[in-house]
Amino acid sequence: MKKVGVALLGLGTVGGGTYKILTKNRDDIKKNYGVDLEIRHILEKDMSKVKALGANPDIVSCDINNILKDPEIKIVAEFFGGIEPAKSFLVQCLLAGKSIVTANKEMFSQYWHELESAAKKGKAGVYFEASCVGGVPVIRTLTESMQGNNIKCIMGIVNGTTNYILSKMADEGLEYETVLKEAQKLGYAEANPTADVDGYDSMYKLSILSSLAFHTKVPIDKIYREGISNISKLDIEYGKKFGYTLKLLAIGKKENGKIEARVHPAFIPSDHPLAAVKESFNAVHIVGDNVGDIMLYGRGAGDLPTGSAIVSDIVFASLQSKHKYSSFKNNTDKVSDRGFNKDFQCEYYMRLTVKDVPGVIASISAKLAKFKISINSIQQKVEGDKASVIFMLHRTSESSVKKAVEAIKEVDTVYSVDAIIRVEE
C-alpha cells in the first residue's frame, strides 16, 4: 500500500472540510485507490479550530519549516486565501519537491506561472481543481476529457453569491440592496462583498478556465469585468417579458483565432440550461467543436463540496508518476493584445427614461442608426409626463453601443440611460 504524507495550510471553512473528508474517508480511499493518505502536519494558529475538529495538536504548528523538513510529506494543500503568505509558502514547498493543491483562485490566477516554474524545478505538481466552481469537476474535464475537441466557448455561473442575489431578485421581485443584506445575514455574502458582486471572483476563475480551454494564457487584465450592483428589479422584470433570465456570466470564446473573455450581467434565453441554475449553485456550459454542448452543475462553494475537490486532487496527485504542466507558454512575459478581441459583439437591452413627447423615439433611433445599430423591438411604459423605453438591439459591437449611448445622452428629450445589459443567445 502506497503511503503519502499530507500537510494542510489552514483549517478554515474549506481546510476543515478537507480534514473531515480525509479522516472520514481514509479507509475508503485506501480500498478504492490503493493509497493511504496520512495528515502529518497542519499549519494553524487558532487552536480552537483544531479542537473543534478533534485533530491531534501534536501535529499542529505555525512554522512552515516543519512541513518543508518532513520527507514523508509529499502533498501540501493550502487554504489561507489571499496572496501572502500563501504564495511564498507554496513556492517553498514546490522547490522542496512537494506537490501542492489549492483552491486559491486570486493567488493562482495571478501567480500560476511562478508556481509552475517552482514546480518544474522541484519536480513537483500543481493541482487546482477546487479553484474554480467548488466541487464541480470542470478543471479535470478541460484537462483530461476534451482532447478530441477545440473548445469554442466556455460560459458559466461561477459565483454563488451573485447567483443567489439575482435568483432572489427574480423570484421575489426584490431590489439588489435588500437581497444583498439578506445574503450577508445568511452568510452567502461577505461583510465586504466587493470581490463577489463586482465580478472579481468570477474574473479570477475565468482567467484560469479560459487559459485551459483555449491553451493560451489569459491574464486578468485581458478580461472585461462588470458587476451586478447597478442591476434593478425593473430590468429583471422587463427581461422576463422578452423571455430572458439575468445571470452574472463568465464568458470565454474563441472565434477567428482570437479570444474574448468577459464577466458581466447578461440576459440569456429562459430555456437555456444556465437559466435554471438557482440560488448559490454554479454551472459551466462548454461547447466543443466535436462533442457539442456539455453542462456541469453543482455546488460552487462550501466546506464539503470544495473539500471534495481538494481531496480529489490530493488522490489524483498521489497517483501520478509524472506531473503535467501547462499546455501553453506560462511565464512572466507580457501577453500581447493581438490575440484578444476586446470589442466583442452581442445583442443588447437598453432602458431609458424620456419625456413623453412626439418624436422622442425617432430621435433615439436616429442616434442608433448613426452607429449602424438596428432595433429588434421596442417597449414603453408611460408614467405622467415621462416614459420608460426599452430597446432590444440586434447584434452589434461593444464600441458602437458605447458611442451610441453617449450620443443618446445628448438628446434633450432623454432624461437618462438607465441600463445597458448584454444578451447572450
CATH of the domain at 225: 3.30.360.10
Residues 6+ apart with CB under 8 A from 181: none
Range of the domain at 258: 138-299
Tens of pLDDT, residue by residue over 285-322, are 999 999 999 999 998 888 899 999 999 999 999 999 99
Domain-terminating residue out of 108, 131, 154: 131
Tens of pLDDT, residue by residue over 186-241, are 888 889 999 999 999 999 999 999 999 999 999 999 999 999 999 999 999 999 99
**Distance, CA of 63 to CA of 29 (rounded, Å):** 29
Give the mean pLDDT of 246-258: 96
State the CATH number of the domain containing residue 39: 3.40.50.720
Based on the fold, state whether residues 350 and 395 are members of the same structural domain.
yes
Based on the fold, state whether residues 144 and 280 are members of the same structural domain.
yes
Based on the fold, state whether residues 244 and 144 are members of the same structural domain.
yes
Residue 143 has pLDDT above 90, yes or no: yes
Number of domains in the chain: 3
Q: Is 240 a catalytic residue?
A: no
How many helices (H) does the chain have, and how many strands (E)?
15, 16
Residues 6+ apart with CB under 8 A from 249: 155, 156, 157, 263, 264, 265, 266, 268, 274, 424
Based on the fold, state whether residues 93 and 142 are members of the same structural domain.
no
Domain-terminating residue out of 241, 268, 299: 299
Residues forming a β-bridge with 393: 348, 375
Tens of pLDDT, residue by residue over 364-415, are 999 999 999 999 999 998 988 999 999 999 999 999 999 999 999 999 999 9
Please check whether residue 220 is in contact with residue 109, taking contact to mean a CB–CB distance below 8 angstroms.
yes
Please state the φ and ψ torsions of residue 191, each to the nearest 5 degrees: -60, -40
State the CATH number of the domain containing residue 397: 3.30.70.260
Based on the fold, state whether residues 239 and 350 are members of the same structural domain.
no
Based on the fold, state whether residues 127 and 152 are members of the same structural domain.
no
Q: Nearest to residue 39, comparing CAs of 88, 95, 79, 91?
A: 79
Based on the fold, state whether residues 210 and 281 are members of the same structural domain.
yes
**Distance, CA of 213 to CA of 56 (rounded, Å):** 41
Q: C-alpha distances in angstroms, 277 versus 190, 241, 371?
A: 21, 19, 36
pTM of the complete model:
0.95
Active-site pick, 168, 205, 217, 253: 205
Based on the fold, state whether residues 147 and 287 are members of the same structural domain.
yes
Based on the fold, state whether residues 9 and 114 are members of the same structural domain.
yes
